[in-house]
Structure 1
Amino acid sequence: MMGTLAVHAKHIIGGQVYYTFLQQEANGNYTYRVTMRLYRTCESGQNIAEMPASVYLTVYDNDNPGTTAITSPLVGRSSFEQKELAQVDPCIVNPPRVCFQVAYYTTNITVAPNNKGYTVSFQSCCRDNFMVNIIAENMNGPAGNQGTGATYFTELPGRQNGIPENSSPQFNKEEATLVCAGKKFTYDFSASDQDNDELTYSFCSAYKGGRATNNTGIPDPAIPPPYDYVSYVPPYSGASPLGPNVTIDSKTGIISGIAPDPGKYVVTVCVEERRNGKLVGTLRKDFHINVTTCVKQVVAAMPDKYTECRSMTVTFLNNSTLGKPYHWDFGDGTTLDTNDPAPLPHTYAAPGIYTVKLYVDKNSNCGDSATAKVLVFPVFHTDFSTAGRCVDKPVQFTDRSTTDMGAMAYYKWDFGTGVAADSSNLANPQFTFTKTGNYQVILYARTSFGCEQYDTTTLSVYDHPPLYATTDTVICINDSLKLAATSDVPGTFTWEPASYRIFDENTATPTVFPLVDTFYTVYFTDQEQCTAEKRVAIDVRQQIHVNAMSDSTVCTGDEVKLRATSDGPYGYTWTELGSNTVVGNDLQATVLPQPPSQRYEIHAQLGKCHNRDTVGMKVVDPPRAAALPDSTICSGSRVLLRASGGAYYTWSPSYYVENPRSAITWAKPTDTTLFTVTVTDTLGCPKEVTATALVKVVPPVQAFAGNDTIVMLGTPFQLHASGGVRYTWSPSAGLNSTTSPSPFAAYDKDITYTVTAYTQEGCSGTDDIFVRFIAGPEIYIPNAFSPNGDGKNDIFRPLPVGIVQMNYFRVYDRWGKLMYSSTAYLKGWDGTVNGQRAPVGTYVWMVEGVDINQKTISLKGTVTIVR
């Protein structure tokens, strides 16, 4: 069950196994007390396993390597400790919690004497995947190789490789230590030995693990040795697990230095014990160290030395916490208080060596300080020159450094090859580069007073010196040409063939005047006798050619790109012949021809050779497109669109147009539409011109005559129409007006009135209202209804005639349960209760209302549901 082990193992952060010799048994066997310390993070919570209650310690016989363990006891946890940082620097902002747990598992192991001793091992499958300095490997490999796990073991000594009566050393401290990234720190990995053996400390490589687990969450017994090392991420290694700035004292076991970047690091320390010069055994401790970003409230920071000696004035850099008061003590009896962190120049009165101290927030409990060594022995200046850049030939480096005080005391040249041996301590060395390339050469120099500076330059080493020459070119047969060659280094030039029409062939700039196509070659030799050559091809033309584009017809107002072709790279001039105006100086020129026509000439010139050609442009007006009418139509109507001004027409959107390619066509838009017609003609201007016609569509008229109603016989009823600006009613029977939006109706029969509503544009729509005239005042109630959803008699409701107010309308079942209640006019019961159909049967109803005479009418009765 790898899931159980993974949850557990990723919170195990280290371990060690050590032993103490107890006794030799009567049968000659040796008994040791073996202890494993297992380290775990202090995290707790769901899906986070606690420290295991038991572990397997598996013993293998090194004399008989194989897959079978001689014993593998399940060892219970004997004790448990939790280590937390005793005191946190109060000047650290939001300090992290530093905490880990230590569990002890101790058992007695008895083994027979042998030559090579015994290995006692514990393995877990999976380290944390996010360790910075080791590679997280495959977590699904076979047993024994299941990713970057961990193996903690010790070796009980045999007759050949140790002393059987020996006890291993034990690490002294289990302390929680805060390690801040980029800061100095110490970590105590010291040990003691009860046999008083000599102890030597070193970093060493951690071991992989990788075992499956049973369903208890306890790793299975370890596989037999030998064990594989973890793979480290460069530049880290087992010997340098925290980078080059962290070391371990071989005599004390104290780890110290500048901590690396934040993250989790695997660190393994090996303690070798020797007795009388003989290696007795090795104790190992594997531990995960967390390096944390620590933000202090105040940090003082500046370079730790100023040794350039450029002048009596030294500019000090302040990289400290911003927004704090700074106190400078320049070491010469002068001080300065400032809040400005900008670079600070200070001039010393006399040469010497000074110690500068910078205090930040000096009067605060969390203040900080930094010191720097300052050398003031001006003026010191480093400089050097080089001679030669040819590969496989010595390059001379000459020191030109100067100092006004003391003498030059030390040189260190780095010739930039990346090979440590390629350096020199001479003042003026020579060095031979064996490969071409760019080399960053650095000179470090120091004076007898300790002033030190660097000077650097990039040296380009070549197998052929740099050489630049005239590019291949063409000339007129009647002309001469001055060639040119240059180089970045000193040297001599020679041109060939020296015998063919060339002057000054031993200079960088000869003059040639060939009569036929010719190749001239320049040879360059630098001062180290490295050579280079370049060939220049001269194409000699007896005549040149240029051809302008064909005559064309263009549209008025359009720019035109004139084009021409030629047989060589010449000088060109375009001229508008009518006004003799130059319009371009290339094979292409952009012009704006004016009506009715214009003519252009292109002139090509190569020295004394010339040629020319012309092109004409006829200028034609584009079509003058028109579209009409802008109009307004009623919804469902159509309009006749008309266009003019060209020979060909295209209407869009075409969906509403009967014939989109006709100048005159019917259109029937469904809503307001801007119709665009594209017009072209056959007069020579290919430009498409557009015109538009806007057709506004009046939406369908939403005429409304009112809801069907019941009116008391003999009582006038006022109608109300809406949806238009004027109206007509029909039939006229019983109406006092057929054009009023709100006429009165007085009639003695049921009747349907139709109203026609008109918009401002004259568009119209109709609607009907059914008016039923019944004697009243009265409330009429049906005695049955059939709520079956067929649209007929589905609702049981009262029909109030001459009733101005409904007090209530209620329906009960035969047991008196309320089934429906409402005070709304003409609202009724649909035969359901809480969304469920009421059973077929008889129900009791009650209704009450107030009529037009303010008389209350109360009725009750029964109704039958029929389905």
Structure 2
Amino acid sequence: MTSVCVGRLTLNLALLLCAGVARAQLSAAFNHPDTVCLGAPVTLTNQSTGATSYSWNFCNAYTDTVGNNVPGCPDPALTVYSGATPPAFSYSIPGTYTVCLTATAGAATAQACHPIVVKRAPTIVFGTDTFFCAGQTAVLNAPVSPGIKNTWNTGSDSNQLTITVPGTYSLTSTYYGCTLSQTTTAAELANPSVQLPKDTVFCDSGVLKYTTNQPVTFIWNTGSIADTALVTTSGTYWLQLNERGCTALDSIHCKVVPTHSLTLGKDTSFCGPGRLIYHPQDSVGVTYLWNTGSDSSSTAVLSSGTYTLAYMDTGCTATASIQCTVIPKPHIPFPADTTFCDSGMLRYTTLLPVTYYWNTGATGDSLEVTASGLYKLIADNNGCADTSTIQATVAQAPVVVLPADTTFCGPGVLRYVSPLSVTYSWNTGSASAVTTVTTTGLYTLTVDNSGCTATGTSQVTVKPVPQVDLGNDTAVCLSKPFVLDAGDPGDTYLWQDGSTGQMYAVTQAGAYTVTVTDNGCSASSTIHVSAADVPYITLGGPQPICPGETIVLQANPDTAAYTYTWQDGTTGPTHAVTVPGIYTVTATDACTTYTASVDVQTGVCVVRVPNAFTPNGDGYNDVFRVLGTEVVDQFSLTIYDRWGRTVYASRDKEAGWDGGAYPTGTYVYELHFRYALTGSAYMQKGTILLAR
């Protein structure tokens, strides 16, 4: 019995005896690639068994790359081969080939057939030279197809390779037995450089031109591909340079300004210096420059000639000129007002060929003024005239009469009153009709009547007045000698009772006057003398004191007329006492002395708590202290605020609370103490007022 399978044939022989020999099982089989690359060698391995001969058909059937079954074999190079092991062969046309092996053993056959897909290898598309622009990258693309494996010399197996640095790059691609390779040299190209000038202004229109030695092409956003671009409107203009695919771009803002239409009008003339003024409709951002040097919209015209204005608007300049004639104008230099004493002359002279017209009717260059009034002159130079007015006052000239020589005892007064309404000016600075004379010298007075002046002088001798001063009124001890001294030895003296000595002894109360005369000049002085009071003072009654306490004794009255001396030699109206005893003070004045005493005795000494203190820094009652603590040997003081918080605590009986930064208010204290002599301990509570 025989069975045949396409692809692999197995022939089962029940038991065939031929010449007494048993035969092996017949089968057809071979190893083959499923897919090969076009042109790649195909190797088939025979794995048949039991065959004595073989027949290979390398193109038993063919299907093209679009799926059409093609009868016959399109590759004439393929042949039928008989033999156990076929040589390696290759396909030259892509498609699907069916390869069949027929194994024969005697009359029995077995066949195996397999398809082999032949694919055309992909193409590597990059060339041997690659370029990229500075700052950019280049991308190499490997072929992409199922079954292909790409390997770059960088170690990458990606389908793309990004190049950032120059160098040599190679790709090896394996595809179903085919090996493809390509090497390229990558070079970095320098970008062209372009730098357009700063933003600029064109008047009406302009041309942008860019000059470079670089081997580049030009592209402007105006469409120009030359090295120039025409600018007719304001806007942004850019230029792109291209060199071997590398580009550079720069832009510039251009402002196109219409040139201003400038005219200064017809030629003109001025009477004396004039001014040309140009009034444009729009002067924002405009600058001016006249040929006179003026940089404003106007210029002074000082002389005849051609005047030119350059009008610049955003860098665009328009010019215009005008011919100006300047006719010299007379100038009458009259002061605003003037005064003539009794009479005067107004005069104006000039080298110009002028005619004169006075408001009095006169036509000369001068006019005599004999009366006050407003005078007007017109000077005309060929129609170019000047007019001036002046208020002329005709005033009466004053006179000054002062005494030629005079003498004063001490300061005196010079006086002159004019019958006219004049102003006065003395060389002493006085501006009245009188001046005070304090020193010998020449005194000058100038009087002014509406600008008319007169001056007079007087030689004045000032003699010194004797200096006499008997002093302030005083009270003296009439029991003691008291002598008045008139001073200035050598002068003459006259007292109220007719005595003429320099000294005068006072024996009773009264008014005393002396007149002292020296070189014809006299001076007097008066003093009232009264009897002085006998001093009386007191220190008051006996006073108590406790141990550790200080009291201050005060002498009464306390007056500057007395000097006070205490029993220990100290002076002053007060005396501090710390221990009991008899204390004495003596008061002394100009007449006599008086003594007073006081007995300071030991008082009843107990602990006392003040109810208020004022820590305001004035030095009085600034610290809260418990009094009488010199008699205790144990002490504890705590002070609380209104909420029960401790604000002060101390076991030092000498210490005290200065109030800290706490506000004005009532505070609670708790005091514990023990008397040293009795050993009795006490606790005392109460309130104190802190007042700032």
Q: TM-score scaled to structure 1, two decimals?
A: 0.24
CA radius of gyration, larger in: 2
Q: TM-score scaled to structure 2, two decimals?
A: 0.28
